[in-house]
Structure 1
């Protein structure tokens, strides 16, 4: 354990040391400009090799959290992306393209669905998954070829967390997409799991990346079927088959598929399926119906489903039956379903228009579905700052990535065509600033 002022840096691996330093930066215990211990001194204090500490420092530099400052050694960057809270107020006039949230004007009207809710509350012994919703969910999922034992959780993150904590042990290695959903990464760290990053391209997590994770001893693999956050990737039919072949020989592996985009998707679902002994498929209602609903349908093998329900009962209890009935009403409401279909087409059009315009101007934006685009950049902090100077807030990729090179996330869920030219012009200037005049 190494003391920097009043903060103790800990860790016996590069990932653990990096996480400890990140925590210090986030909490303000390692303030901007703070020098970190020299590599050899920290290695001696922690009882690890200098190469381990050097690897941690190198990853932190790549993610824009620390920098080399001459005789001062390695210091916390003054504009580290970790220093800005995700919900910090933006300066007046700055348009937020960093939030990663759906357009509330495209969410279905709940008036009719609410009118169909039960008029009486239930008692404790009546709680749990509503059988009628499970039957309806079985019909909905079967259209996409998803079978299995069904249950209900309080959103996708709850389903993923319950699946992991009932199947794995702290310290186990979990393979996640890189870059990927920040909430999953934070949840894994808080739960004591180690993480392994799987590179992502437009067809989803790469087969080579999954193979490397398996060789490294991953006990679980988490993938996003469609609208991957932050890259907008969608698992293709070819990629799904490649992953099936890789995973078939691993009966003890937990496979988690997150299909949060669901009915909004303009592309078919390529379900990897129950090719391992433990598997979970999660379909959240948050993006199509509303983030505040906090309801997800989970299909899984019988044993894992039973563990999920048992742990949920011991933790936060059942998902509100009122919310479950509300989801049921929305699924049966033809007007609500038309609104969801319209929203899906609108999101896709907004994403494609902005993505194509960026590409036409030499910006290699990635995105195939969902709310976001991913743009590789040389320096995240510089790009984020330059975009803000031009009136737009974009999210630094360091919040989402492990080993993937730098990038920024642009949320396009509310971008209208009339705004595209200005956004592209700002992005071109931010990524390729004009050099000094000669």
Structure 2
């Protein structure tokens, strides 16, 4: 018996199994062997159930397992087909281009300190079974977190914020569990959730941050974890206001055991005060602060404060033979953070990013274009036109930008938006980009050159 799907003739009898797990495993084996390819259609539920002599619900459950695992896609009215390999948009410079790249989202290399400028104090080698947190960095971090978190917490050190978020989610969630994410959302958070097979639930972001109504909807939809950016949200640059943070705490009040992760990635550089969405009575929470934006992405260190229960589960994943962060690296970070020259450089960088972003937003405003930015490394621009058309027009004028759909969670939140990283541009280049963007938006509206 054959079923013609996706332009191919598929042999129904090649799928085997009596249980949902066995049927799903058979399909996965066919994919692994190359017998099934992306876009190939799977047999209709009724037909496969008849061929295998099983209940229709068994096949439905098998297809659901394949969809959760990312192996298949079920489209209402169009059946189930093999999913294409996942694609992940990453931050960073566009490869092999001669165009001016304002899409990258990087800090300014010239504002990052040279790690060789500090001298490490002599310390004995660290052996297996010893604390995974270096005492010097731990003392500095406890002081920093203690000023913002008036509750009991424990400290963990990870290899960057993404590593922290991935490990935090993995000790709390199972494959297919729902995670509330901001929409638009930071690229690496989207990737971390999708790679692990969790189900992202979008929560809209407005000028005050993640919306309380959106969070309530996500929690009602079964979200078992929430990832929120309290300051310098990427890509929009917005920070939580005190009133919005309080509203989000209220939304979480009936869900004290949902894991709340605050990704405070811009911390020491932020021009906004930190306002937490975690109330004093919330049971499961973590605050993540990376050093990547002010010491450099290559220093793979993030500091995590969390409730004792989360910290205990977290520690199991960190303390294995190769999973702790090198104490030499931790000591380098501590030496940099406590060096007065580096502290001055961090302060200067904070002023620079805010000034340059604000200046560029004003340049766009003068040209009738609305944008947000100030805190953070980026500008979030509302073009009022199709973002890809605007990006295409900008390429013709020598610029590469990031379209807003890269940050969207299957919604229209980025359809007319682009993100720019402009803090390295001098005055002339800023004027050139603002002019080019105004012309690109006008051309996109009229369809010129398309």
One of 315, 327, 338 as aligned partner of 1:309: 315
Q: Which one of the candidate residues 359, 375, 378 is aligned to 1:372?
A: 378
Asked if the contact 2:6–2:40 (Cα under 8 Å) also holds between the matched residues in 1, the reply is: yes
Q: 1:179 to 1:436 in 2, by over 3 A?
A: closer
CA separation of 1:156 and 1:343: change in aligned 2, threshold 3 A? same
Residues 33-52 of structure 1 aligned to structure 2 (within 5 Å): none
- The reply on whether 1:245 has 2:250 as its aligned counterpart is yes
| Counterpart selection for 2:139 from 135, 140, 149 | 135
Instruction: Choose 1 or 2 for highest CA Rg.
Output: 2
Instruction: Decide whether aligned partners of structure 1 residues 44 and 246 sit closer, same or farther in structure 2, where only a CA change above 3 A counts.
Output: farther
Segments of 5+ residues of structure 1 without an aligned counterpart are 9-28, 31-35, 58-75
Matching of residues 22-421 of structure 1 within 5 Å? 53=75, 87-92=93-98, 94-113=99-118, 115-118=119-122, 121-126=125-130, 128-145=132-149, 147=151, 148-274=153-279, 275-314=281-320, 316-377=322-383, 378-402=385-409, 403=411, 404-406=413-415, 407-421=417-431
Do 1:117 and 1:322's aligned partners in 2 also have CA atoms closer than 8 Å?
no
Aligned-partner SS, 2:371: coil
SS in 1 for 2:289: strand
Contact persistence 1:146–1:299 (CA under 8 A): no
- The alpha carbon displacement at 1:246 in A equals 1.1
Distance across 1 between alignment mates of 2:370 and 2:4:
42
Cα pair 1:43 1:53 within 8 Å, conserved: no
Alignment RMSD, CA only? 3.5
Contact 1:101–1:413 (CA<8 Å) still a contact in 2? no
Provide Cα deviations, 1:131-177, integer angstroms capped at 9, x if missing partner: 33222211122233454211111111111111110011111100001
TM-score normalised by structure 2 residue count = 0.77
**Counterparts in 2 of 1:82 and 1:185: CA distance versus 1, 3 Å:** closer
Distance 2:357 2:254 in 1: 38
- For structure 2, the 5+ residue unaligned runs are 11-36, 49-58, 65-73
Distance (Å, rounded) in 1 between the aligned partners of 2:142 and 2:269: 18
For residues 78 and 146 of structure 2, the distance between their equivalents in structure 1, rounded to whole angstroms, comes to 45
Q: Against the structure 1 CA distance between its residues 320 and 175, is the aligned structure 2 distance closer, same or farther, given a 3 Å change threshold? A: same
TM-score, normalisation: structure 1: 0.79
Q: How many residues are aligned here?
A: 388
1:429 to 439, 442, 449: 439
Q: CA deviation at 1:200?
A: 0.9
Equivalents in 2 of 1:398, 1:117: separation in Å? 47
Task: Name the CA shift for 1:394/1:42 in 2 (closer, same or farther; >3 Å).
Answer: farther
Per-residue CA deviations over 1:191-239 (Å, capped at 9, x if unaligned) read 1110101111221111111111111111111000111111111111111
Q: 1:329: how far off?
A: 0.8
Q: Residue 376 and residue 119 in structure 1: after superposition, are their counterparts in 2 closer, same or farther (change >3 A)?
A: same
After TM superposition, give the deviation of residue 121 of structure 1 in Å: 4.1
